[in-house]
Amino acid sequence: MDFVEFSSELPKIEKIPLPGLWRDHGLIPDPNHLRWAGVLCLFYPDCNGKTHFVLIRRQSDGGAHSGQIAFPGGRRDDQEVDLSLTALRECEEEIGVSRETIKLIKPMSELYIPPSDFWVQPFIGITHSTPEFTPQVEEVAGIIEVPAKDLFAELHLKMETIETPSLGSVKAPVFDFQGNRVWGATALMLYEMRQLMGQIIS
């Protein structure tokens, strides 16, 4: 997927309503909730001009999301009045991409994550330079660079039955990128992005 073409088409999603497929099964975000996080799906060109996005593998630290595949992101600081600032700061801290080089395109649907009691606000962003990733070793065990075309390929997506506290058994997306299983909240966010961007990308 050519980055020049992709970057010219991506801003069109700003005016497209969110699918809202995974607004945590009807839960309404509480702005007064104490635990909010911002995460970023960052698109960029590789050295051959092809579009990629970046995921991270979290360190195995025994926490609620230990060892999982995720977007760069984390908890909002008290002084951050906008979660977009959180997503940009965390991206810079965790993978070394300067927030000054990133343009945010659109916020996606908020998602509640029961195991860690966080509401998470995802964002789609883009940088026009090929990043030199510098992982924050305390938080990040590895960097996963995913060709954007793989997000839209049926080969990398399947639906699995999971158990939820509110709805019981439901079908949820699971992605496989380069042998990395992406499930849970990150897969739900990716699936909404896939549905949204699929309206502008052929």
C-alpha span between 185 and 37 (Å, rounded): 12
pLDDT beyond 70 at 21: no
pLDDT beyond 70 at 63: no
Determine how many CB atoms are found less than 10 A away from the CB of residue 162: 14
C-alpha span between 19 and 96 (Å, rounded): 31
pLDDT given at position 188: 92
Q: Which helix (H) or strand (E) holds 133?
A: none
Digit-coded pLDDT (tens) for 77-120: 989 989 999 999 999 999 999 999 999 999 999 988 887 888 99
Between 191 and 25, where is the model more confident?
A: 191
Average pLDDT over the chain reads 90
Q: Is 142 helix (H, G, I), strand (E, B) or coil?
A: strand
pLDDT beyond 60 at 62: no
C-alpha span between 197 and 185 (Å, rounded): 18
Question: 120 with 83: CB under 8 angstroms?
Answer: no
pLDDT beyond 80 at 34: no
Intra-chain end-to-end CA distance of the chain, in Å: 10
pLDDT given at position 60: 79
Name the residue among 113, 107, 116 with its Cα closest to residue 88: 107
Mean pLDDT of 63-75: 82
Name the residue among 136, 14, 134 with its Cα closest to residue 74: 136
pLDDT beyond 80 at 193: yes
Question: 38 with 90: CB under 8 angstroms?
Answer: yes
pLDDT given at position 118: 85
Digit-coded pLDDT (tens) for 116-127: 888 999 999 999
Burial class (CB in 10 A: 0-12, 13-18, 19+), 117: exposed
C-alpha span between 119 and 121 (Å, rounded): 7
pLDDT given at position 202: 64
Between 64 and 146, where is the model more confident?
A: 146
Mean pLDDT of 137-146: 95
Between 8 and 116, where is the model more confident?
A: 8
pLDDT given at position 24: 47
Q: pTM (2 decimals)?
A: 0.91
